[in-house]
Amino acid sequence: MIAEIISIGDELLVGQVVNTNAAWMAHHLNEIGIPVKKISDIADNAEEITKALDEAFSRSDVILVTGGLGPTKDDITKHTLRDYFKTELVFHQPSYENITRLFGSRGFAISPINRKQAEVPANCTPLINYNGTAPGMWFEKDGKILVSLPGVPFEMEAIMEQYILPRLAEEDNQRVVAHKTILTQGIGESALSEMIKDWEESLPAKMKLAYLPQPGIVRLRLTAYGETKEKTLQAVENQAKTLQSLIPELIYGFGNDTMEQIIGRLLKEKNCSLSTAESCTGGYLAHLITSVPGASDYYQGSVIAYSNQVKQEFLRVSEGSLKLYGAVSEQVVKEMAGGARKRFNSDFAVSVSGIAGPDGGTPEKPVGTVWIAVASKNGITAKKFMFGEHRGRNIRRAALAALNLLRLSLLE
């Protein structure tokens, strides 16, 4: 069974919206063993939609369509599907009741255009959208499946999880795919590739390795094709284990683990608390840490010290160090970590001070210079990093490097 994704929306073709839906759907289809052959982004245009549907039906078994189901005039997917299947729109009472419930709970009145959202093509099975007003629609044609879903990510995701993925998983799949993603930090793509060359070349023919570099991180995706789910999964697991024994210090996790989740697990295991003190990362480090549900179990808080005065007053950094070494220095970043650990009364504290850019660089300390320190009962260690010139990437790389230093310190 081969799937294909069609994302409908002018906003995609003018580049106003990034298509996160396709990635989400592709990921979840692969997880249940259904490979995705193609993703297409097309305009809110009946002719383009019809052409894309014809092409997709000619080569794929399952077609997932998102977008164009909103209540406004620019959304034409539903009417195009009605014409495509040569049918008419019928009123779907349960969808209308869902709309009533949604509007009632927010204290709004239902408008005529919202009422129209409960109408669906007569040949589809409507899928109730508990998070929004546009129902999903399940069509079947010549043994093939087409599903139309709203483009709002969390509405689409809920309908996928509730109805579509379980139903597709029940279908017979012709081939088994297993994936394992290995997460590395602190080494570039080509250096890593040289280092694991022999292992990579020894992989069996039915196994494929892909390098997925991001700022500060290289993910390795190992994909295997096989006969049974169990054997194929076992095969990738074994190869991942071999790789881990080759480069243990570079691998921080697997799969969809994030560095912040791993930190959270380690802190919980050790029953330790954490605080942070940020300058150039400006709250991004705290945001990563607190994006994990339950972070309040171990995270005390942070001081975002965007000025020297704040560093002195809230973190007790000495005026002498700021004058003598400057805010971006080993001395100051250590005092920030020590000050945070003491003032927040936490077991661990991480601090970051650097020059994110685009301004503020000097010949001695160019944009991208970042000092990071970790304080614990064993003392305070600091490390200097030289990142690049781009503000957003420097913030991201500095926060990841800070989490990784903390991780290594937690593993000590």
* Residue 149 tokens, joined: 């879903």
Give the C-alpha distances (Å, rounded to integers) separating 192 from 188, 207, 219, 257, 315.
Answer: 6, 19, 11, 20, 39
Least distance from its own copies to the Cβ atom of residue 69, Å: 12
- Which C-beta is closer to its own copies: that of 359 or that of 412? 359
- Which C-beta is closer to its own copies: that of 334 or that of 396? 396
Least distance from its own copies to the Cβ atom of residue 28, Å: 7
- Give the residue carrying structure tokens 């093509």: 121
- Which C-beta is closer to its own copies: that of 191 or that of 324? 191
- Which C-beta is closer to its own copies: that of 44 or that of 347? 44
- Which C-beta is closer to its own copies: that of 137 or that of 218? 218
- Which C-beta is closer to its own copies: that of 123 or that of 366? 366
Least distance from its own copies to the Cβ atom of residue 330, Å: 20
- Give the residue carrying structure tokens 């629609």: 137
What H or E segment, with its residue span, contains residue 214? Answer: strand 207-214
Strand arrangement, sheet containing 251-254: 207-214, 217-226, 176-185, 251-254
Spatial neighbors of 141 by CB under 8 A, at least 6 apart, are 57, 85
Which amino acid makes up residue 392?
G
- Which C-beta is closer to its own copies: that of 134 or that of 146? 134
Q: Omega of the bond prior to 112 within 30 degrees of 0, cis?
A: no
Which amino acid makes up residue 395?
I
Give the C-alpha distances (Å, rounded to integers) separating 67 from 134, 148, 150, 156, 238.
Answer: 10, 8, 5, 9, 40
- Which C-beta is closer to its own copies: that of 140 or that of 388? 388
Least distance from its own copies to the Cβ atom of residue 269, Å: 19
Give the C-alpha distances (Å, rounded to integers) separating 145 from 7, 61, 351.
Answer: 16, 6, 53
Contact (Cβ atoms closer than 8 angstroms) between residue 290 and residue 299: yes
Spatial neighbors of 50 by CB under 8 A, at least 6 apart, are 80, 83, 84
Least distance from its own copies to the Cβ atom of residue 86, Å: 26
Least distance from its own copies to the Cβ atom of residue 251, Å: 17
Least distance from its own copies to the Cβ atom of residue 301, Å: 4
Least distance from its own copies to the Cβ atom of residue 169, Å: 16
